[in-house]
Structure 1
Amino acid sequence: MKLKGKNKYFWELILLTASVMVFLTGMLLSSKFVKKTSLDQQTAFFEKEIAKRVAGFEQLLKDEQLMKRLTQSRESLNDLMSVYDGPFYFYIYKKDANKQFLRFWNTGIVIPSDELLYSSRDEQVAKLPNGYYYSLRKPVPGYTDFNAYCLILIKSSFFIETEYFKNDFPFDKTMNNIMDVSLTPTPFAVKSADGTPLFYLKYKASVKVARDSELSVVMKITGLFLFFLALYLILAKRLAPVNYLNQIYFLTGSFLAFRIVLYLMTARWRSGEFSLFDPAVYSAGDILPTLGDLLINSLLFCWISVFVWNRLSAVTLNVYKYSKKTIWITGISCLVILIAATFSIAGVIKTLIAWSKISFDVTNVSSLSVFTAVGFIILACLCLGFYYLSRTLYKFILAAFKDNLLLIYLLIAVLGLLFITLIEKDEVVIFYLPVLVWLLVYTFVFTKEAVIYRYVQFSVSGTVLWIFVFSVSLSLLMLKEINKAELSLRKKYIEKLATQTDPASERLISIANKYLDSNYFRNNFKRLYDQQENEHMRDSIRNRNYIGYLNNYVTNLYFFDSLNNPLFNQAPYTVEALNNIIANKSRPTSLPDMYFYESEFDNFAYITRRVISNAKTGHLLGTIYIVSNPRKFAVANIRPELFKQFRSWEYSNSLVYQYAIYQDNQLRSSSKKYPFTSYLTPGQMPQRRFEIREKDGYNELWYRASASKVIVMVRKSEMFLEAITLFSYIFCSFLFLTALINLLMIVLSIFIGQRSVKNATFFPTIRSQIHGTFILINVLAFLVVGAATISFFVNRFEESNNDKLSRTMNIMLNELSSHETYDSVRTILQSKGSNEDLFSANVLNGVIKRVSDIHGVDVNVYDQTGVLRASSQPDIYSRGVLSDRMMPRAYYYLLRLRRVEYTQKERVSNLSYNTIYAPVGENSAQPYAYLSIPYFTSQQELSQEISTFLITLINLYAFIFLLTGLLALLITNRITGSFTVIGNKMKQISLSSLNEEILWERDDEIGQLVKEYNKMVAQLKESADTLARSEREEAWREMARQVAHEIKNPLTPMKLSLQYLQKAINEQSPNIQQLTSSVAKTLVEQIDHLSKIAADFSQFANINHVKAEAFDLHEVLQPLENIYSKNPEVTFHWNPLPIPVQVKADKTQLNRLFTNLFVNAIDACEGNTRCVLEVRERLDNDTVIISVKDNGAGISETMKARIFTPNFTTKSSGTGLGLAMCKGIVEKANGSIWFETEPGIGTTFFVKLPVL
């Protein structure tokens, strides 16, 4: 604290140091990231991680008792759980002759392959079906006929990659896009403990590698911002501590410099590789190239606007200080800035909705993303910044045009229309016209703000009303644009649906592929092994076969050899992935070898497969895949999902859209979730290509695809709900941003020394404390209710899933138990054939497939040893996503603990799901098989339910907040109204007037305060009476002394003169006549002086006798100027205002006021060769200030405090009542008087009077 006291830049230096530290930390993280992405670094990291897990494996083998129980199959549940889901996979095999049999396993994800089991190498890395694994084999200590295996996942590698199945490195997932595993030698070898190379690392080809991590980029941006903020604070405190305009210039310049540096550095940091700075998400020109840039610009705009308002809110535009031309230019400039800001912000809002991939369709929960939240923050920043900017501009606009509202409305309309006429696009003109109308309404409401606040008082600096206004306005603006975007998207969907179901599309593809048959590829297949010939052949096929269809379709070709190796394909797709798409995710078309594949809600493709074989030998040469998709839709993303249960974007599963397809007026297909008619009447046929119809609360989009084909896509009309939800989101965004701004202002006020840490408070007034309490209660209730309800949802969902799985399991068990081929099924399960034979067991698979399709779930059947014998999703296991072994914990519960049913959570890669297990048999104690039903979609459905609930909760609490806000308003108005009454009464307390007591009927806390106040008033009255008596007595005594003194002064020379005259008479002086005249003259002078004293006291006594009247102040000053300007010893300068100055006061007393001031000014110039008297006038809001300046000696410091005290004078003679009377006259006219003086230069008295 001593350092802070010595250095006035203490907090600024702290902030500057913090900025440098944050930036250097970002650079350090960037350096570490670059170093981390080095494969030399990664090889050492992999060796360390593998060694750590191998040490754990070896430590496990040293537990003799555990190994004894595991080898004898006597392990307890605790034994199983001690090795379950560990950092490595653990297996024990029993050796029998030349074979090995699995005795124990701790996972069902992967099982060592036969190549590993019978390999001559104990330590190696192998490619298993779902990834690359490090394998270590060691004999079990003390049991030579048992081998223990350790598998450590190096990299997951599924045969297809999906959202839930990522091919990544478990040790470091940030390296997924940078490197890959190689089993062929590269310079980067990962070695075992003895130095033997295990596998190799390599950089991925044609992959952009980020130079920085996201955290390092954020820290560097934050460091730069803090640096420029600290620079501003130092400049503002050093060069402009009280000059607000310079502070604004410094802040704007600092932020502008920060933004320019950020624009330049963004490319270097390659921030575009991060989703927030991806132009594909949002881009609107060079200034707003990405969503991240828009977010930064919006935050800076809001910051500057709030700062400008904070600095200029107390500044007024003095229209009399500047010329009329300057005032008009200022006013029109402010109007131009206001209109430009309004249209610019409205344009940005439009682009944010129409030009981006950000969804603001708040009633379609599945379409929302993290970018939606960022979008709402941006909207709040823009509108809040506009609010403070407009307040600043209106302050100058109203002053410039002297509150001439009609003129302001006219100028806004004219300038706005002028701006709109410069726009060429009609649709944009239609968008901006309502914006201009809104600006006029907003201006009207703003000018009536004082009237509104007169009846309703708000906290949070009065912004609550405007938050509501902007939330409603923005909701209406966005709702229109969102509906336009949604309608455009629905048209796209319906056109796609028409293309999907159009046989002509299939015929077009068939014609294009007509000559691309097996014979063509068989004759040219050798050319595909040469890269140049391969590329030439691809171009030739496209140009020759698809030249007539290039405008309609985009075609990609994928070539594979007989071993399924890709032949210079551009995309990393495999034969297994493409075959899986055809088998599980596509439907056959009317043409052979061509399939229709819908990859997303708005993406689909036609896939043609050609299997090329040798015509003579029949040996496979390779496989060709031709993928074609309509050009007007995005290229279909060939990324099949493994599990068929959950595809929320499918038309049949959509919670938002329903559709129907009519051919020749007959209903051909529909989603069956909406009551479509079975046929169309002539009156129902759409007359235009697209038509929108409202029916029973639903919005129907009719599309006439052809003369005979009509498609209808329906969405429920939820305009009211959408408006409420949108309002809730925007309102909450505003509240969050307002709270953040208040917090930042408190922190910054501490930094710049305007507030101490002790005095820093978020709610400085009782009103804001009550409002803040209600807000905090709402937020706390939202968090508690949200957490509790989500917890309830999760528990209820788990119970519901378990009940559903249990019912499905019972049905499946009944199916197997009552099936007519029960004996055959049991025989198949108890047979010892190969898995391939088991998978092809028609009877068992038929039962499983039928029940699976009926209930929409997957079913697996395991034999008594836990080996998979049948599955409704065989690809999951045959492709190695999961092994053919039952999960060990479930197997233990069913086999050892003899549970009749067991449910557990399981996880594969990024997918979590529930699985239920049950034994199958006539007697559950003697099962012949085990049944499992995995519920893969539980995670997605739970997320969907929670998201829907949170949106409902946000809507509910937004309105609860509004209701509680109104309640808080009533409560605070009632409480603070009581305080206001007490405060006003306290303000009126005066010793010179009668103080009224407060009448309070309620006996509450405030009533106690009122009682104490009334007691104080009574005591004050007594004290005032006592003081008044004392002051009156003292005043009379002082007045008597002053009067006696003033009368005594002239009486003394009168007495002396008379005595002298008497002596002269007695002595019969010869000049008696002359002496008599002299004495008479002296007596007259002294009598005049006595009269003046009497008049002064009389005037001072009659100050309170005021006769107020309205008149022009110049009527008083003009005669005085005529009198004093004729004085040859005085130079009188009067600079009157060019307009009449109407005041209401006692005209005679004002004349006496200025007479006294002029006389005092002339007297002060005594001793100067010439007296210069300068009188000036100026208007200040609703007052006029008259200054009277002289060139006298000035007033000394000792006299300043007593200058308006009665009976005090700086002259050798006088009553000392002149300036006291002046002060009394001004105060009776509701004005004020003060002075400024400089010794040796002169004094200036200022009189401030209210004008009419």
Structure 2
Amino acid sequence: MSDLEFGWFNHQFDLDIFDPKIYAESFFLPSLGDLLLNAIALTWVSLFVYTNRKKYELPGWLQRSKSAGLIFHVLLLAIFAAFAYLIDDIFFGLIYNSRIAFEINIINLDWISWVCVLLLCLAWFNIYLFAIVFIKLTLKLNVTNKERLVLFIASLLIFTVFRLFTEFTAFFIVCALLLFLLGYNIYIEQRRFSVLIFASSFFCMAFITSVKYIRFTDIRERNLRAKVAEKLETTDDPKVINAIDIFESGVKGNEYVINYFKDSAYVSRTVLQNYIEKSFLDGFLSHFEVSMYTYNAQGDEVQPSGTKLSYFTELVRAGALKTPESGYFYRINDTFGYQNYFGIIPIFEGASILGRLVVELKSQPYNYNQRFPELLIDGKARSENQDNNYSFAFYNKGVLVNQSGKFTYDLINRSFNAPVGKIHILNDKEKKINHLVFAPTASKIIVISKERITYVARLAALSFFFLVFILFSFLVYILIWFLKNMENSAFGWFSINKYLMINANQILYKTRIQVSIIFAVVVTLLVVGWATFYNISEEYKKQQADQIRDKIRKLQVSYEKQISNSGILLDAQAVVDFNQFADVNTAFLNLYSLKGELLMTSIPRLYDNGIVGKKMGPVAFITLGKLKTSEFINPAEKIGTFTYAAAYVPIRNNKNQTIAYLGSPFYGNQEDYDNTIGLFLNTLINIYALVFVAIGILAVFLANQITNPLTFIQESIRQTKLGRRNQPIHWSRHDEIGSLIKEYNKMIAALEDSA
């Protein structure tokens, strides 16, 4: 309670796990770390209750009374259901009230996501312990198993009817099945280990968790889409507003811009625009279409453009809206489906005005596709919940005015309708698309579309949780065994071997067959899976390297042609040409001298801000400059912890002399690799989980087929009595069992003859 009251952990340790920005739900659950501590404390209590379960005694009248026993059963069912609902509510809050990335992708899961997985395992562990304790208590009651079954089915039917009138899902049926399996294992099987019950129980847990996970993430995602739709109604994007504010601050006092207005012959307007675009208009403003106009202090054009300053001042008078947090930018009103900003920025030298720079920005709606890695995006504006899989459509008076994304929309609106100011969800089962429709006014419709959650994704979640829960159970079993035996002074490898030998001798032959089959298959799957994963990942890396090599060679040839006549110039126009060359080829480019010094770059902010040094990488420089190779590809260049691939080639003149080095970083290379390999790994896990379940069922079937004859022989031998006539065992097949039975019948006949 001291941590809840004073936040001791969060103040004493700078840990992300105690940061409420990641997760916070209530006073008792102010952070993910507090939730984990509460879960561990609850687990300790559950283990204490479970360990002392044999010491609990019920009153004598309760043990004798059948009606009281039945009521006690119902009460325990109600307590169990309430406990399950509490954990269900916490699980919902863990997804909905957090910024945790809940992706069932092993490669993309960070340590915070694994903490959440651990919390789920602890939750199910607590449910299991309480269920066992409750069932053990009911063994002392005067209630038969038949009566328990009737009571259980009746309670389930009553609850099912109730949920049919509220909200029915398969969640309740599977919960009941899990409880039935646990009860069957205790009431009927006397807690004997069974692979079928073991696998079925974990399958139920995984099914329940995956269903809830899919449902809760879907609710969270739809809520996010609703916020996006409402944000689109206002047109102003906070990320863009923040970027405009930074742009204004940078341009006003920039020496390069001031020199242009002091002397218009300093550089051309095209060169100025290129400089401003590369220096200030990357990040969130990079997808805007940019136009720039320059005017002197009297309002006349510095260099002819055909657009007078009065055009923009009239827009202000006509009702253009001032953008928040900006001193000089306005948004043109009634631009539904896109954003159109313009800024009239005065340029001063001291107290005297030199002129005005007008910047016009026109964008596509809510474009998520950024070319830059996260380290180039302004930290204040970074969104935690962006989703690159959205498609957008804007309808005005029933006509499509703009769209983005991969989904195809009708030019005339025939399908999307919603009450004004309300959100409407529309499912297209044929195209497997989910549409969120929002009508800001009677004539305008905003549609945000996303692919529905596929059955493959559902299977991936089920497989992931199934394997995680099984692994967790083994780890818990090993941990508990070690804790029990560590108190023994003779604890060591000898005692471990002795324990394993004793328990191995007590394992049934049927169980040995089941475990042997499953173990052999699992080992085979792991070996084959690892080999497949390794080969696929290496092959994909090779494909990426080939694509990079092909790209850099084309860039090399094209750039050598561009400079073949003039050579490499370093004036302002050459910088413009270099940046245009990079834009046309959709690449980030750096040009280095023969000494490895940066000459030109299409991403100057990286170097101006000191994120990357202005020297060529040492390995690339030595490989190209000293070893004289034709190219060099570094698959793992780094900026801090950010990893990306980069390629370098020499640039030659008409005399085939190397005059510079061209480098091209591929910032999306590692992310693309992680996504592709993660998808493959998820698919592999799905297949293996299904194979594991199938092999478990097959192992049970084969073990029963093998051991049934032995059980039959055991029962016949048990009924054999010396001194009287015994019936021979009949076996129709001529196999090993048949030979054994034949010898047994001979022995019985010989004993009877000698009697």
* TM-score, structure 1 as length reference: 0.45
Secondary structure at the counterpart of residue 376 of structure 2 = coil
Matched ranges for 1:177-576 at <5 A: 267=8, 270=11, 273-299=14-40, 301=42, 305=46, 312=53, 322=63, 324=65, 327=69, 330-331=72-73, 333-360=75-102, 362=104, 369-397=110-138, 400=141, 402-403=143-144, 404-405=147-148, 459-460=194-195, 462-500=197-235
Of 759, 777, 802, which aligns to 2:545?
802
Distance 1:891-1:383 versus aligned 2 partners, 3 A rule: closer
Q: Does residue 499 of structure 2 align to residue 760 of structure 1?
A: yes
Identity of aligned residues (%): 22
Matched ranges for 1:1047-1058 at <5 A: none
Matched ranges for 1:103-118 at <5 A: none
Cα distance in 1 for residues equivalent to 2:726 and 2:280: 91
Cα distance in 1 for residues equivalent to 2:482 and 2:627: 62
Cα distance in 1 for residues equivalent to 2:447 and 2:410: 11
Which residue pairs with 1:890 in the alignment?
620
- Give CA-to-partner distance per residue, 1:242-284, whole Å, 9 cap, x none: xxxxxxxxxxxxxxxxxx7997997268466322333333334
Matched letter for residue 380 of structure 1: C
Which residue pairs with 2:461 in the alignment?
726
> Displacement, 1:687?
4.1
Maintained 8 Å contact 1:921/1:929: yes
Maintained 8 Å contact 1:805/1:933: no
Maintained 8 Å contact 2:171/2:211: no
Q: Does residue 392 of structure 2 align to residue 659 of structure 1?
A: yes
Distance 1:958-1:407 versus aligned 2 partners, 3 A rule: closer
Which residue pairs with 1:915 in the alignment?
646
Q: Does residue 433 of structure 2 align to residue 691 of structure 1?
A: no
> Displacement, 1:735?
0.6
Maintained 8 Å contact 2:39/2:123: yes
Distance 1:889-1:485 versus aligned 2 partners, 3 A rule: closer
Which residue pairs with 2:685 in the alignment?
954
Cα distance in 2 for residues equivalent to 1:469 and 1:788: 31
Maintained 8 Å contact 1:900/1:918: yes
Secondary structure at the counterpart of residue 823 of structure 1 = coil
Distance 1:610-1:923 versus aligned 2 partners, 3 A rule: closer
Secondary structure at the counterpart of residue 668 of structure 1 = strand
Of 977, 980, 992, which aligns to 2:708?
977
- Give CA-to-partner distance per residue, 1:924-944, whole Å, 9 cap, x none: 852233222222322222222
Matched ranges for 1:1013-1162 at <5 A: 1015=743, 1019=747
Which residue pairs with 2:599 in the alignment?
869
> Displacement, 1:870?
2.0
Maintained 8 Å contact 2:624/2:631: yes
> Displacement, 1:374?
2.7
Distance 1:844-1:815 versus aligned 2 partners, 3 A rule: farther
Maintained 8 Å contact 2:70/2:143: no
Cα distance in 1 for residues equivalent to 2:10 and 2:750: 79
Matched letter for residue 714 of structure 1: S
Maintained 8 Å contact 1:362/1:725: yes
Cα distance in 1 for residues equivalent to 2:10 and 2:753: 80
Cα distance in 1 for residues equivalent to 2:611 and 2:181: 64
Of 545, 554, 558, which aligns to 1:815?
558
Secondary structure at the counterpart of residue 409 of structure 2 = coil
- Give CA-to-partner distance per residue, 1:998-1040, whole Å, 9 cap, x none: 5566677x649x62x76467557756886xx6xxxxxxxxxxx
Distance 1:876-1:355 versus aligned 2 partners, 3 A rule: closer
5+ residue gaps, structure 1: 1-259, 421-428, 514-554, 565-575, 597-603, 621-638, 829-837, 1030-1252
Distance 1:320-1:778 versus aligned 2 partners, 3 A rule: same
Of 670, 674, 677, which aligns to 1:943?
674
Matched letter for residue 123 of structure 2: L
Matched letter for residue 284 of structure 2: K
Which residue pairs with 1:533 in the alignment?
none
Which protein has the larger Cα radius of gyration, Structure 1 or Structure 2?
A: 1
Secondary structure at the counterpart of residue 678 of structure 1 = coil
Secondary structure at the counterpart of residue 943 of structure 1 = helix
Cα distance in 1 for residues equivalent to 2:653 and 2:118: 62
Matched letter for residue 812 of structure 1: L
Of 368, 376, 398, which aligns to 1:642?
376
> Displacement, 1:954?
1.8
Distance 1:875-1:768 versus aligned 2 partners, 3 A rule: same
Cα distance in 2 for residues equivalent to 1:266 and 1:1023: 83
Which residue pairs with 1:1057 in the alignment?
none
Secondary structure at the counterpart of residue 99 of structure 2 = coil
- Give CA-to-partner distance per residue, 1:51-70, whole Å, 9 cap, x none: xxxxxxxxxxxxxxxxxxxx
- Give CA-to-partner distance per residue, 1:498-551, whole Å, 9 cap, x none: 334689x98xx99xx9xxxxxxxxxxxxxxxxxxxxxxxxxxxxxxxxxxxxxx
Cα distance in 2 for residues equivalent to 1:351 and 1:800: 42
Matched letter for residue 757 of structure 1: I
Cα distance in 2 for residues equivalent to 1:712 and 1:883: 44
Cα distance in 2 for residues equivalent to 1:595 and 1:370: 43
Cα distance in 2 for residues equivalent to 1:817 and 1:315: 86
Matched letter for residue 442 of structure 2: A
Cα distance in 1 for residues equivalent to 2:653 and 2:643: 33
5+ residue gaps, structure 2: 256-274, 292-319, 332-338, 356-372
Secondary structure at the counterpart of residue 94 of structure 2 = helix
- Give CA-to-partner distance per residue, 1:5-44, whole Å, 9 cap, x none: xxxxxxxxxxxxxxxxxxxxxxxxxxxxxxxxxxxxxxxx
- Give CA-to-partner distance per residue, 1:85-142, whole Å, 9 cap, x none: xxxxxxxxxxxxxxxxxxxxxxxxxxxxxxxxxxxxxxxxxxxxxxxxxxxxxxxxxx
> Displacement, 1:734?
1.7
> Displacement, 1:393?
2.0
> Displacement, 1:706?
2.5
Which structure has more relative contact order (CA 8 Å, sep 6+)? It is 2
Cα distance in 2 for residues equivalent to 1:579 and 1:808: 22
Distance 1:849-1:994 versus aligned 2 partners, 3 A rule: farther
Secondary structure at the counterpart of residue 758 of structure 1 = helix
Maintained 8 Å contact 1:580/1:640: no
Distance 1:917-1:582 versus aligned 2 partners, 3 A rule: closer
Matched letter for residue 356 of structure 1: S
Distance 1:577-1:267 versus aligned 2 partners, 3 A rule: farther
Secondary structure at the counterpart of residue 658 of structure 2 = coil
Secondary structure at the counterpart of residue 680 of structure 1 = coil
Matched ranges for 1:698-847 at <5 A: 698-751=433-486, 756-761=495-500, 765=507, 766-777=509-520, 779-781=522-524, 783-819=526-562, 822-824=564-566, 826=567, 828=569, 838=570, 840-843=571-574, 845-846=576-577
Maintained 8 Å contact 1:331/1:396: no
Cα distance in 2 for residues equivalent to 1:643 and 1:410: 59
Cα distance in 2 for residues equivalent to 1:413 and 1:869: 77
Cα distance in 2 for residues equivalent to 1:782 and 1:379: 26
> Displacement, 1:474?
3.2
Secondary structure at the counterpart of residue 822 of structure 1 = coil
Maintained 8 Å contact 2:36/2:119: yes
Matched letter for residue 224 of structure 2: L
Matched letter for residue 634 of structure 2: Q
Maintained 8 Å contact 1:594/1:609: yes
Cα distance in 1 for residues equivalent to 2:92 and 2:424: 24
Distance 1:932-1:305 versus aligned 2 partners, 3 A rule: same
Which residue pairs with 2:305 in the alignment?
none
Cα distance in 2 for residues equivalent to 1:435 and 1:370: 28
Distance 1:369-1:337 versus aligned 2 partners, 3 A rule: same
